Structure 1
Amino acid sequence: MSNLDIHGLTKSFDGHAVLHGIDLSVERGTLLALLGPSGSGKTTLLRVLCGFERADAGTIDIDGRRVAGPGLHLPSEARRIGYVPQEGALFPHLSVADNIVFGLPRAQRRARHRVAELLELVGLPASYADRAPQQLSGGQQQRVALARALAPAPTLVMLDEPFSSLDATLRIETRQAVADALAAAGATAVLVTHDQSEALSLGHEVAVLWRGKLIQSATPDVLYRRPVSRELASFVGDAVLLPGNVENGAAVCHLGRLPLAVPHAEGPVDVMLRPEQIRIAPAGSATQDDAGTHLATVHDVSFFGQDASVGLTLTEAPQFTLRARVPGHFCPHVGERVTLRVEGGVVAYSRP
């Protein structure tokens, strides 16, 4: 059973449409990552779901109960939604415990209802209950904000880019702790983010908003390997795009005849593959006549430690350059000649 059902949701501001007929379902216990570039409508959708804004049309059902529809707009406090904002927004004059129980009935606030349990759930010691928020790191404050959101046992938890203000190392540690806490609580959650790696690593499913429209919702691996448009392919990770044709069920381009991950009608296309699909090796005695192997020259290298991005110029088609991603321990030098071949299926997009 879906915990969240959205049908035909639209929203405009001053005559400018921001959301265009959004249809989306989130199954119970799922962490959905809502991904999109700035201006795509992510924050507006979150605000409409939380009840901060009224939808122009469409319906929203949470846990089988309609909260928005024609002539219906339940206020935020009646929707049983936990909300974690970007900065945590803890009250500085309250202790950690008092922040956690802030939204509970008075008797439960006095009893510090489930404070120790919730701190343990988000990976913090029970001894932190009496600390002030200012005594915690940014990541710890975000965990307390999650504990506060989970305290009333909400039907749905909304997270609005909660890791964006943290440094890289703390961001990874905190988001994993948050994901573990949500899973342990069995919570249904929607994570709003513009960070592709965050969406792919945390989301059980990823929904992509593009100019106010939901263009794809899929598991992270399907979204990455089979994006529905060339624009989405370039937004979610790095993409190599080459002109080609679909012939007899395969994509034919300067990298040879490549299998299609998704069937496509015959005709001129742009062929998309990921840089890590390009395997390179020292040229040695190989020639471009070897089946599936092509000669290339390295024209630039960006080294990142664990891996490297390698710019390549094809010997047989020097007007085309492409990028491969290789392990850091195997990083060729600029000017080196290498052989390359493609592993796995590719995706084709019809040319306009």
Structure 2
Amino acid sequence: MSLRQAETAELVVEGLGKSFAGRAVLSGIDLQVPSGSLLAVLGASGGGKTTLLRLLCGFERADAGSIRVGGRLLAGDGLHVPAHRRRIGYVAQDGALFPHLTVAGNVLFGLPRALRRDLGRAAALLEAVGLPARFATRQPHELSGGEQQRVALARALAPSPALVLLDEPFSALDAALREETRSSVAAALAAVGATAVLVTHDQAEALSLGHQVAVLRSGRMVQVATPDVLYRQPADAALAGFIGEAVLLPGEADGARVHCALGSLHLLRPAHGRIEVMIRPEQIRLIETTASDDGPRGVVERAGFGGHDSLVEIRLQHSGELVSARVPGYAMPEPGRIVALRVEGAVLGYPA
């Protein structure tokens, strides 16, 4: 049985806005999610992520702007299509399975009554999300947290929705189960060609799953980009620190290069005058010092062991500034050690 979506389901959001009690929660949100792709919406708590999902689902009425899925207007121009008529699948944080139904009963619940006994479809949907067909007769309490989330996804996919929304579906899982479940969910969405929006506060999750990542800050869209562009070229210094660890240093730019406490570095984008230099910790290499070294040196102040890698804090000898370097876990230096530093790759500059 083929479960692949038959229709084009591009999501287009234009100028979306929502206020509660006179306070703007979302303002001027624009999004375009191509059919069959996954958009990860990333943001801190209170940034507007949940409100955005509720507007897409139809649980809330938008104050401004429009929402289209597959060319069909769902909100805007005075129109508000109710949630049950939007053909949108929804996966909650905890799965929200019905405890009195079997797995098959949960998966088929959203289908017309005549199709709710189609065990062949239930089996196909379970296999699509990486679960064996024999799970169909089990009760939800007999499944692990990750298995319950996959059943919830199968239930969301059962009616062949035009769009699937996932509201932090992995947040309650432990680290190992989270990674396994992420992979299964991503594979299932790709297999059926679903257009999906994933809301998360986990940066690694957004960067690893999203074809594009949109960052919400205080109800406004700060940047929408592919994961590699977002990480390497964040729109501003605050976003650089939110997406991952960032070393920020003052520098003087003269076009293609910038001069700062870590030497003369190549810029991703030409700049002139005083700028703030953004360097990722993994770009900073620690090397053994020699008498002939004339590059930057520093003293290791702290080192945090993280297993496969370590984050090392170094106090620069000449400027006194504190920088962070990410090194393999086996190469973590002891505090007090003097090291030379070298930056690899181009760096980004922001106006000072």
Q: TM-score, normalised by structure 2?
A: 0.96
Residues 69 and 113 (structure 1), Cα distance of their counterparts in 2 relative to 1, 3 Å cut: farther
Look up the match of 1:299. 301
| Distance in 2 separating the partners of 1:34 and 1:278 | 29
The alignment yields a C-alpha RMSD, in angstroms, of 1.1
Does 1:316 find its partner at 2:326? Answer: no
Give the corresponding residue for 1:58. 65
Matched, 1:172 2:173: no
Alignment of 1:1-352 (within 5 A): 3-112=10-119, 114-264=121-271, 266-287=272-293, 289=294, 293-318=295-320, 320-351=321-352
SS at match of 1:110: coil
SS of the equivalent of 2:99 reads coil
- TM-score of the superposition, structure 1-length normalised? 0.96
SS at the partner of 2:161?
coil
Moved more, 99-108 or 241-250: 241-250
Using the alignment, how far apart are the partners of 1:53 and 1:115 within structure 2? 31
Deviation at 1:2, TM superposition (A): 6.7
Amino acid at match of 2:303: V
CA distance in 2: counterparts of 1:150 and 1:96, whole angstroms: 14
- Structure 1 position 283, deviation (Å): 1.4
Shift of 1:34: 0.3
**8 A contact 1:249–1:263 mirrored in 2:** yes
Q: Is the 8 A contact 1:2 1:25 kept in 2?
A: no
Q: Give distance in 1, aligned partners of 2:344 and 2:57.
A: 44
Q: Over residues 53-76 of structure 1, what are the superposed CA-to-partner deviations in whole Å (9 max), with x where a residue is unaligned?
A: 000010100011010002100011
Write out per-residue CA displacement over residues 41-63 of structure 1, whole angstroms, 9 at most, x where no aligned residue. 00000000000000001010001
Residue 249 of structure 1: how far off its partner (Å) = 2.8
Distance in 2, matches of 1:111 and 1:237, equals 46
Give the number of equivalent residue pairs.
345
For structure 1, list consecutive stretches of 5 or more residues without a partner in the other structure. Answer: none
SS state at 2:216 partner:
strand
Distance 1:286 1:185 in 2: 60
Gaps of 5+ in 2: 1-7
Superposed CA offset, 1:292-318 (max 9, x none): x32111111101110001111112212
Percent identity over the alignment?
60
**CA distance 1:286–1:181, change in 2 (3 Å):** farther
Equivalent position SS for 1:159: strand
Shift of 1:268: 1.5
Work out whether residues 10 and 195 of structure 2, in 8 Å CA contact, stay in contact via their aligned partners in 1.
yes
C-alpha spacing 1:28/1:286, structure 2 compared with 1 (3 Å)? farther
Letter aligned with residue 322 of structure 2: T
Q: Kindly indicate whether the alpha-carbon contact (under 8 Å) linking 2:42 and 2:203 is maintained by their aligned counterparts in 1.
A: yes
Q: Which runs of 4+ in 1 moved over 3 A?
A: none
Distance in 2 of aligned mates of 1:309 and 1:193: 24
Cα distance in 2 between the residues matched to 1:284 and 1:301: 22
SS, match of residue 91 in structure 1: coil
Q: For residue 235 of structure 2, give the secondary structure of its aligned residue in structure 1.
A: coil
